[in-house]
Structure 1
Amino acid sequence: MIDLVAGRGELTDTAWERIAPLLPQMDGRGRPWRDPTGGQRGAVETRTGAPWRDLPERYGPWQTVYERFARWEAVGTWAKLLEHVQVRDDAVGRVEWTVAVDSTINRAHQHAAGARKKGPQTGTNWKIRAARKARQALGRSRGGLTTKVHLAVDGRGLPLSIVLTPGNVNDATTFVQILNGIRIPRATTGRPRTTPDRVLGDKAYSSRAIRHLLRRRGIVATIPERRDQAANRRRRGTSGGRPPAFDRTAYRDRNVVERCFARLKQFRAIAIRFDKLGDRYRAGLVLASLVLWLREPAR
């Protein structure tokens, strides 16, 4: 679970006032909640990785709070909250459209394994196990089970797109999914903004397919060429073509995505994955990203 607070344990009243009107309202049926906000604040104020059973009693039964958290994740409530603050910032020109992409590997706690087994039961046993782990974004590496978080952040280091994969997945294979996840609707009318001005990425994203994709979409690529690619190009002589354009000055800003990972990992439930289900873990990432957007001071 996630801590949505400036201090420790709970949301600030200012942050709560921003998002409370956007949450689903209770319809009056069922037993009244102990929380005066109708249980909504309890569903949002999940703790910093502590078990759900440790949720403060004033929010009511932890099972009910968890069910509400899961239901809102399923209907996209958390994503809508994040989209709301993104639209608000974009409307006043605060979103910086020089986008940096990267990934980080997070260890999965032993409690994250063993999610309920669903899906086809055909094929060899190892293939079935691999498919199940992929669905839950769990992969095995030297350190055990891990989850890889892929991010695209704006020039201020605030998340625009979040993709989860098993920890042993190559970064370049998810680039299209990350880029397609960037979508900020307009505050008034018009198509959503989906195209950055520039994309900053490290050598893991240095592939011909990625460069062609960015060129077709009119996006400037600032990605250093890998050493083996440069050697192969030189070996081919004139048929190898010219080296890709690379702006060293612009590339210095790529560290904003590294700083974003550092801020997200201040939430214990992000730094270490406790959730069995990949969707629940991603919902926690969305909530943590929402906190970063709410904390960003106006300029």
Structure 2
Amino acid sequence: MGASPWIVSDDLWERIELLLPKWERRFRYPGRKPVPDRQVLCGTLFVLHTGIQWEHLPQELGFGSGMTYWRRLRDWNKAGIRQRLHEVLLAELNAAARLDWSRAVVDSPRQGAKRGLHTGPSPVDRGRAGSKHHLITDGHGTPLAVILTGGNRNDITQLIPLLDAVPPVRGRPGQPRHKPQSVFTDRGNDHDVYRDQVRARRILPVTARRSTPHGSGPGVYRWVVERTLAWLHGFKRLRICWERRADIHQAFLKLACCLMTHRQINSLC
């Protein structure tokens, strides 16, 4: 039987530890010793995988107060740790020529949401509150960037922000790469104004026209992003948005993208 998915492997921890800020204890009044970062990361992964509430973290597994883990996640996200880790992992894949820059693929499924400013009434679900995960991947389905919005936000409004959110990826000689050659989207992005904005970034837009039949367009290439979204929502904490603060849910999204990217690196071995 394999290890529990919330156990941080040595391979992953070596990459994360270098990015974490160092805790400096006061000499005269040091106070309580902080919870080790690796233990906090394990507890955060436990919440991400199981969807459990912070205050219900099982004490028998060695976890402490859930608020301690919540605060550490907040601080790490504010410091950009998740984003920097994702860039490091993408650079490793790029160095191994495992990123397909010939095309990027975009999709924006709706998720249920219970609360928070990042929710909105869905126009296709009787006005129920929901959120959207806007995801862009490379041609192999590796996540490049993800954005959280309310469920009432039109998909096409996030196409340009998604393209601009792709980080500069190092790992190969020359300038860092941050633009694919083309981007594949569904019929919801069929708008000439946005096509022109994509072309202005020297990216070829490939979007099926609304009047064309299904099965004759870019769907043969877009399945990779649908598969990645299925993996993303395999993390139970991401299936329904419970967080009041958008930055906490966004931190979970970025962490999940890092884990999926790390799996791609492990597949190289």
* Range of TM-score over shorter length: 0.7 to 0.9
In structure 2, runs of 5+ residues without a counterpart are none
Instruction: Decide whether aligned partners of structure 1 residues 103 and 249 sit closer, same or farther in structure 2, where only a CA change above 3 A counts.
Output: closer
Q: Pairwise mapping of residues 1-299 of structure 1 onto structure 2 (< 5 A)?
A: 7-29=4-26, 30-33=31-34, 35=36, 39-42=39-42, 44-47=44-47, 48-57=50-59, 58-97=62-101, 98-109=103-114, 112-113=115-116, 136-141=117-122, 142=126, 144-187=128-171, 191-227=175-211, 251-296=219-264, 297-298=267-268
1:25-44 Cα shifts (integer Å, max 9, x gaps): 22234422454x56543464
Q: Contact conserved, 1:199 with 1:220, CA < 8 A, in 2? A: yes
Give 1:72 shift: 1.0
* 1:6–1:12 CA contact under 8 A, matched in 2: no
Query: Structure 2: which amino acid aligns with 1:79?
Result: Q
Give the counterpart letter for 1:45 in structure 2.
Answer: L
The aligned amino acid for 2:52 is: A
Cα deviations across residues 217-242 of structure 1 (Å, max 9, x unaligned)?
Answer: 32222211122xx8xxxxxxxxxxxx
**Percent of residue pairs bearing the same amino acid type:** 31
Taking structure 1 as the reference length, the TM-score comes to 0.76
Root mean square deviation of aligned Cα: 2.6
SS at match of 2:85: helix
Residues 217 and 33 of structure 1: CA distance in aligned 2, closer, same or farther (over 3 Å): closer
SS at match of 2:99: coil
Q: Classify 1:189/1:69 alpha carbon distance in 2 versus 1 (closer, same or farther; 3 Å).
A: same
Partner Cα separation in structure 2 for residue 60 and residue 164 of structure 1: 29
Separation in 1, partners of 2:229, 2:134? 10
- Does the C-alpha gap of structure 1 residues 100 and 157 become closer, same or farther in structure 2, counting only changes over 3 Å? same
Partner of 1:236: none
Cα distance in 1, alignment partners of residues 128 and 3 from structure 2:
33
Residue 45 of structure 1: CA displacement? 3.0
**What is the CA distance between 1:61 and its match in structure 2?**
2.5
What is the Cα deviation at residue 79 of structure 1?
1.2
Note closer, same or farther for the CA distance 1:9–1:45 as it changes in structure 2 (3 Å cut): same
What's the secondary structure of 1:160's corresponding residue? strand
Query: Does the Cα contact within 8 Å between 2:137 and 2:144 map onto a contact in 1?
Result: yes
Q: Decide whether the 8 Å contact of 1:205 with 1:223 is kept in 2.
A: yes
TM-score after normalising by structure 2: 0.84
Q: Aligned letter for 2:253? A: L
The letter for the 1-side match of 2:240 is: I
Length, aligned pairs only: 252
Secondary structure of the corresponding residue to residue 262 of structure 1: helix
Pair 46,69 (structure 1): closer, same or farther in 2 beyond 3 Å:
farther
Secondary structure of the 1:89 match is helix
Cα drift, residue 249 of structure 1: 7.7
Name the amino acid aligned to 1:264: L
1:159-196: per-residue Cα shift (whole Å, max 9, x none)? 11111111011111111111111122324775432210
Verify the 8 A CA contact 2:105 2:225 in the aligned structure 1. yes
- 1:82·1:289 contact (CA, 8 Å) conserved in 2? yes
Structure 1: stretches of 5+ with no match in the other structure:
114-135, 231-247
Whichever residue aligns with residue 104 of structure 1, its letter is: P
